[in-house]
Structure 1
Amino acid sequence: MEQPPIFLWGLRIDEPVTSLTDVLVGVVCLYAWWQLRKLDRPGLSQQYLRYYFLTMGIATILGGVLGHAFLYALSFAWKLPGWIISMISVSLVERACIAHAAPLLSKGTVRFLKTANIVELLT
């Protein structure tokens, strides 16, 4: 079902439900990043997880604003920043999982997973 645009103070906003949902999810991600940052827990998995929430928050807000709300005023290429940052974000959460599981895995398995993570991001 197509969402009709809304107009706020003369400003057209396309896909308002999708745009609002993206912005809200992004704000929740940034809040999670802020709270985890304040905890300052040590460890590589914690660091990756904090960066995951930061980058996913930025990517989701950019996606909602540039990729949905104002895409009518921008070219399709403006969807790329949100997509690229979200790809980095997913890579970071994968890295967090690898770092967290590393003590239970062989060094070869960890090396394989880290390599696969980089290959996945680059392709």
Structure 2
Amino acid sequence: MNPVQVRLHLKVECRGTQRRQGHLLDWMMTEDLTKKIVVWAAEIAGYAAQLPSRQVREAYLAERRDELVAGAVAEGVTERDAAILADACVNAARAIMTELLAHRAGVPKGRA
């Protein structure tokens, strides 16, 4: 599967604790959601690590984030909640990408 074509389809489960004024959202992270984020992040990170520069990698991650937000909003998630979820996904991809790049450079695991 080409990482560029990967789409993350998520069903976000939230508990009923939500306030508009205080912007409180109590997420319930399911095991299925966690697995989907990890798989997506690993595939995206693997592709991003092959890109030639930091700027190109960051632009690629930003594009993937925008796609995630748009997809989640299209499925009925609020823009704010979609952004929170997309940030979690991209941050996971960035962390994996950093380790992949460090491994390629010969830096010991966990030191990137």
* TM-score, reference length from structure 1: 0.30
- Flag the structure with higher strand content: 2
- Flag the structure with higher helix content: 1
Report the structure number with the largest CA radius of gyration: 1
